[in-house]
Amino acid sequence: MKRKMLVLLVTVALLSAWFFGCKGQVPFIPIDDENTQGNSVGNIINGGVVAYKDNWVYFVNERDNLHIYKQKSGSDVADKVNSDSSMFINIQGEWLYYSNINSGENGKLYKIKTDGSGRVKLNDDKSSFINVVGDWIYYSNGSENRKIYKMKTDGSKIVKLNEDFSSYICVVGDWIYYTNGTDKKRIYKMKTDGSERTKISEDAAAYLNVKDEWIYYSNESDSDKLYKIKIDGKNKTLILDQPAENINVYDNWIFYTNTFTSNKIIRVNLEGLDAKIINYESSSFINIAYDKVYYINSYNKLFKTKLDGGKISPMIK
């Protein structure tokens, strides 16, 4: 079983390398309005293994083949929602959207109601970095060399938006931010209709997060160090003189891992100060929902802790 979970999670890691995309995030709040995002961009660029709505946490259960479960905040009991191995979870209204990585499905996009009913396949594309915004779904299409596509949440009106090998897709407002593998993983942006495609930076980037007119990223052109740059390409700034991966920007904090600390999760403020280690095990897939940090440890188990660290707990005891 442990080996099977490892294979599934390696598949997700390959998806990330395969999509090589965008980290971006705005402060994450419960999603109640149809015009809000289905998940934070910081979660999506970290695999989208957790989403939150109305005091419920939706997560992929590593004990059950990465099927989606839901759990009331503060509870250790969880209910099963689907039977698909799932990643890139978004929730909007009564629907969950996800990439189905079951064997034979290869990342096709599905939706299912939060009570487990009404499962619908929306496309036949290898879909990753899924951003559900309003009544549109944006994704990197692995069936079309990672070009960005959008479609209506009912599966209609599928539109190709660019010709770039696109990863770490972040949809924020009227703009899509992403890394362009066709151009050495440099940061690009374009309007959500595909117009005004613009290069933002000459850096090779990963783990994009977008917040308050800034893009935070791991700069592969400078030993994976943590940088930020304005969304207009100005004021590039080194935040940390050390590598940063699995970046998730939430509220006034940046959460990340690096090899110097054996991939423990570190929290710093937006200026790179007040660093604090919030857990003591090797971690990846950092997701944040409301008042908790969620991560997958080196044994492929999903754990949670408070935003400032402390006691760690498995999702299901």
Q: What is the CATH number of the domain that holds 75?
A: 2.120.10.30
Domain that holds residue 238: 2-243
Strand-pair partners of 72? 56
Residue 257 included in any domain:
no
Residue 20 pLDDT: 38
Structure tokens at 28: 């994450």
Q: In the structure encoding, which two tokens stand for residue 16, read together?
A: 């990330």
pLDDT of residue 73: 87
Within a domain: 262: no
* In a domain? residue 148: yes
Task: Assess if residue 57 is contained within a domain.
Answer: yes
Instruction: Please give the average pLDDT of every successive group of 10 residues along the chain, which has 317 residues.
Output: 42 41 38 68 98 96 96 92 98 97 96 98 98 97 98 97 98 97 98 98 98 97 98 98 97 96 97 96 96 95 96 91
- Residue 317's pLDDT is 80
Q: Is 11 contained in some domain?
A: yes
Within-domain flag for 310: no
Tell me how far apart the alpha carbons of residues 240 and 120 are, in angstroms, rounded to a whole number. Answer: 44
Q: How many domains does the chain have?
A: 1
Predicted local confidence at residue 74, as pLDDT = 84
Considering the domain boundaries, does residue 78 fall inside one?
yes
Looking at the domain assignment, is residue 204 inside a domain?
Answer: yes
Q: Which helix (H) or strand (E) holds 294?
A: strand 292-297
Q: What distance in Å separates the CA atoms of residue 259 and residue 247, rounded to the nearest whole number?
A: 13
Residue type, 180: N
**Measured between alpha carbons, how far is 131 from 136 in angstroms, rounded to an integer?**
8
Q: Report helix, strand and coil shares of the chain as percent, to nearest 5.
A: 10, 50, 40
Helix (H) or strand (E) holding 130: strand 127-133
At 76 the pLDDT is: 86
